[in-house]
Structures are given as structure tokens and as C-alpha cells.
Amino acid sequence: MANPKLLLISGSLRKGSYNRMLLAEAAEAFGPAEISDGSLDLPLYDGDLEEAEGVPDAVKHLAQQIKDADAVIIGAPEYNKGITGVLKNGLDWISRVPGAAFKNKPVVVVSASAGRTGGETAQFMTLSCLTQLQARLVPGTAVLIAGAMNAFDDAGKLKDETSRKLLAERMAALRAEVV
Ligand SMILES: Cc1cc2nc3c(=O)[nH]c(=O)nc-3n(C[C@H](O)[C@H](O)[C@H](O)COP(=O)(O)O)c2cc1C
């Protein structure tokens, strides 16, 4: 598969998100691919809403993007030593769509956060949720970008050579799963 379908999902909605920057770096390191973005700008999960109106179209669209993708990269920021509400909400909605979108899907989670641990706790929480969703988590050393506000240059590129190398290794492993 020369041009695999790669889906990027950011656990932060903001435009200037460091996790979006990290996802862009990851996609570049992944190599040639048909890249798309999955939006987590979704309604809050509410069982009453689901019962009255069914799964929202935006959720169905995201689930289809995940099913269609050959590989998924998730950028998981850390809020209060945990997964962001936006990301957890998205994963909860996805779990409600019949057909188990993440089942056997090769996934790598990366994180950029302001603190010194680079979002380690949030990343492991995300991996735990993805295990429940039966994703195929591609193993490797965790990509955790600490002090995210100083980690990228003006062009949004990762400054630290060690982090870039680690990211390249993870992306090579992800690519090997699908190519
Ligand atoms: C509500 C909230 C809680 C946060 N808690 C943490 C935290 O526990 N650990 C950490 O490293 N950074 C924490 N931060 C800082 C985030 O890492 C920082 O805002 C980062 O830029 C978020 O990712 P983004 O740039 O992709 O939006 C928190 C930020 C917010 C808004």
C-alpha cells in the first residue's frame, strides 16, 4: 500500500494547539499518505439526545473516517493530569456507533503538554480507553513533548532532535503495520 489513509485526531480543539503541531510533525514523519483530520467538535454525549435523535451525523462521519483509515494518530493533551473532556467525549460517542470503528485499527497516541511530564498521564488514560475500544495499539517508546510552549519553532516544527527521532521511530513502526 503506497499511499495509506492516515487519520489525525486532536484532543484539543484550539487552532494553535501544540498537539495539532505534533500531529502535523507525526504525519510528515509517517511519509506519503492520504491525510485527513477527524474533528472532535461534537455535542456532549447525552443518552437522552442519543435516544431522541440517534447518533449525531458528525459522530457517524468521524466513525466512518476511523473505519476507512489504515492508521490513526491521536494527539492527547493533558488537562488536570487526565484526558481532555473533548477527547473522552469523542471516544465515548465513537463507542456508541455500531461496527466498532477502532477494532483492530493501528493507532499511535502522542502528547504535547505544558507540564514537565509531557502529558504522560493523559496519554496512558487514552491508551486505556482505546484498549476498551479494541484498537491495535502499536507499541513503542512514548512520544511525550514537555514544556510544549517552548518545544516548537515559529514554523511549528519540533526543535528537539531526540523527540524528532523518537517520533520518526514510532511513525516507522505505524507505517510498517499498514504498508
Ligand atoms: C484545564 C486545563 C488543565 C491543564 N492541566 C494540565 C496538566 O495537568 N498537565 C499539563 O502538562 N498541562 C496542563 N495544562 C496545560 C496544557 O498542557 C496546555 O494548555 C497545552 O497547550 C494543551 O494542549 P494544546 O496546545 O494542544 O491545546 C492544562 C490546561 C488546561 C486548559
Burial grade of 60 (CB within 10 A; 0-12, 13-18, 19 or more): middle
* Cα angle: 121, vertex 45, 104; to 5 degrees: 60
pLDDT band at 20 (very low <50, low <70, confident <90, very high): very high
CA of 114 to the centre of ligand 1 (A): 6
- What pLDDT is recorded for position 108? 99
- What pLDDT is recorded for position 2? 78
Burial grade of 153 (CB within 10 A; 0-12, 13-18, 19 or more): exposed
- What pLDDT is recorded for position 173? 98
Res 1 pLDDT > 90: no
Alpha-carbon distance of 94 to 101, in angstroms, equals 7
- pLDDT tens-digit profile of 64-106? 999 999 999 999 999 999 999 999 999 999 999 999 999 999 9
Mean pLDDT for all residues in the chain? 97
Q: How many domains does the chain have?
A: 1
CA of 30 to the centre of ligand 1 (A): 26
- What pLDDT is recorded for position 124? 98
Q: Provide the grid cell at 86.
A: 473533548
Alpha-carbon distance of 27 to 8, in angstroms, equals 8
* Cα angle: 8, vertex 170, 67; to 5 degrees: 35
11 CA closest ligand 1 atom index: 26
Q: What is the CATH number of the domain that holds 37?
A: 3.40.50.360
For 89-113, b where at least 16 C-beta lie within 10 A, e where not — what string?
bbbebbbebeebbbeebbbbbbbbb
75 CA closest ligand 1 atom index: 26
- pLDDT tens-digit profile of 132-164? 999 999 999 999 999 999 999 999 999 999 999
Residue 1 near residue 178, CB atoms below 8 Å: yes
Residue of 13, 18, 19, 79 best suited for mutating to test ligand 1, as the one with most atoms within 8 Å of CB:
79
